[in-house]
Amino acid sequence: MAAVKLTHHPNTVPLLVKGQRVALADYITSTCPTIVGPKATFTPTSYLFNGHLQTGYAAYYNSSTTDNDIVYQRQMLDLPDGGHLALDWTPPNQPLDNTPVLVALHGLTGGSHESYIRSVLEVVTRPPFNYRAVVMNCRGCANTSLKTPQLFNGAYTDDLRFVLKHLQEVLPAGTPLVGIGFSLGANILVKYLGEEQEKTPFKAAISVANPFDFMKSSQSLDENYFSRSVYSATMANNLKRAFSKHTDILGQDGKINVEEVMNSSTLRGFDDACTRKMFNYTTVNNYYRDASSCRFIEKVRIPLLCFNALDDPIVPESCIPYDEVKVNPYVVLATTEKGGHLGWFEHLRQPTRWIVKPLAEFIVAMFKIHDIRESPTEMEPDTIAQNVDTIQAAE
C-alpha cells in the first residue's frame, strides 16, 4: 500500500464553487478522497506487483468481456482536409441535451473498445452518475477507413480542435465538456490545451499515463534488449497492423515506402519510416521534440489533473515534467509508486482498475461546478468510490 503523491504550484488557481473562490488543490482535497487523504492509497493486486505485470495484465484485461460492456452510437465526422474519423457516443440514441459530456481520447492505435476507456465510461455514463461520453477515434482506428493518405501522431492536434468545434455546434450552449486522454491521447490533449490556453471549450481535463517527453521515452524503450524487443516491438507491430489496413491509400502520394514501414521492428523505426515522412518532419527527433507535451503543459489554462505511475515501463519517471507542473497553478500531478502503463489493477480475484475511483471523483467534481441542468447529479465524495466498486463488481 502506498499513498498517492501530489505535485502542484503552491497557490493553485481559484475556482468559483457555489459563489465562493476555492483553490484547485483545496477543492480536490474536499471532493476527491482517493486522491488526497487517508483513503488516497493504491494497493496493487499481489501477483501484479510491478509495472511489467500491471502493463501485461492490461493487455489480457482488454480482451475480456464484461456484463458492463459499453454500447456506442457511431457518428462519422468529415474533416476539412477530406479525411474522416469516428465519434462513438454513449449512452446511444439519447437526445443531445445539456447533460455534461466527457470527451475521451484513446492511446496508440486504440479506440473506444479499449478497456481503460470502457472502465471509466461504464461508471460515469450509468446511474447514479448519468453523464454522457463521446470517444474520438483517430483516423484509421477503431475499424474505420481512411479517405486521405494520413493517419495520426502525437503532435497533431487539429482533428481534436475540429471535433470540439463540432461538439459546440451540436450540443446546447453551455453544455460542459471535460476531456480525458490516455497515453498518446493524453499527450495530444495536453499539447492541444497548451496551444489553445484560454480558448479551449473544455472546463477541465485529465491526463492518464501521458508519455510527456517523446525523446526520453524513446531512449528508454531502446536502451535495453527487453524494452526494445517487448514494448517497442509490440507498439511497432500494432502500428504496422493499423498501417497495413490502409496501404493502398497511404502509398498514394509517394511519401511513404510501404516495404520500409513494414520492415520496421521498433517504435522509433516505424516513426522514422512513416510518421516523420507523412507529417513532413526532417528527422524523427524533430517529430519527437514537436510532439512532447511537456513543452506545452506550462501554458495550460484550465484545471488539469495528470495521473502517472512511477513504475510505468513505457513512461519512466524521467519523462514527467515536475518543474513545469510546479510553475503552472492550473495543473495538479498525481503519482503512484505502482500501476504500470494504463494498469492500476487492485484486488486478488477478478482485478479491476483502482484508478477509476479518483478519475470518477475528479470528473464529478469538475462537472458539479459547471452543470447547468435543472436537477444536476448530486453525490457526496465518500459515496463515489463505493458506487465505482458496486459497478465494477458486476464485471
Q: What are phi and psi of 353, to 5 degrees?
A: -85, 115
Residue 54 C-alpha cell reads as: 500491471
Q: Is 118 exposed, middle or buried (0-12, 13-18, 19+ CB in 10 A)?
A: buried
Taking the C-alpha atoms of residue 201 and residue 224, their distance in angstroms, rounded to an integer, is 42
Please state, in angstroms and rounded to a whole number, the distance separating the CA atoms of residues 7 and 294.
15
- Cα–Cα distance measured from residue 310 to residue 315, given in angstroms and rounded to the nearest whole number: 8
CA distance 3 to 21: 28
The residue assigned the cell 514501414 is: 261
**How is residue 356 written as a grid cell?**
477509476
Cell output for 236 = 511497432
Residue 87, beta-bridge partner list: 75, 136
DSSP E strands, the chain: 2-3, 5-8, 14-17, 20-23, 41-42, 73-78, 84-90, 101-105, 132-137, 177-182, 202-208, 304-309, 331-336, 345-346, 352-353
Task: Give me the DSSP letters along 83-123.
Answer: -EEEEEEESSS----S--EEEEE--TT--TT-HHHHHHHHH
Residue type, 381: P
The DSSP result for 309-339, as a single string, is ETT-SSS-GGGS-HHHHHT-TTEEEEEESS-
Catalytic residue numbers read: 183, 312, 341
Distance CA 288, CA 232 (A): 15
Q: Which residues pair with 14 in a beta bridge?
A: 23
Cell of 340: 504500470
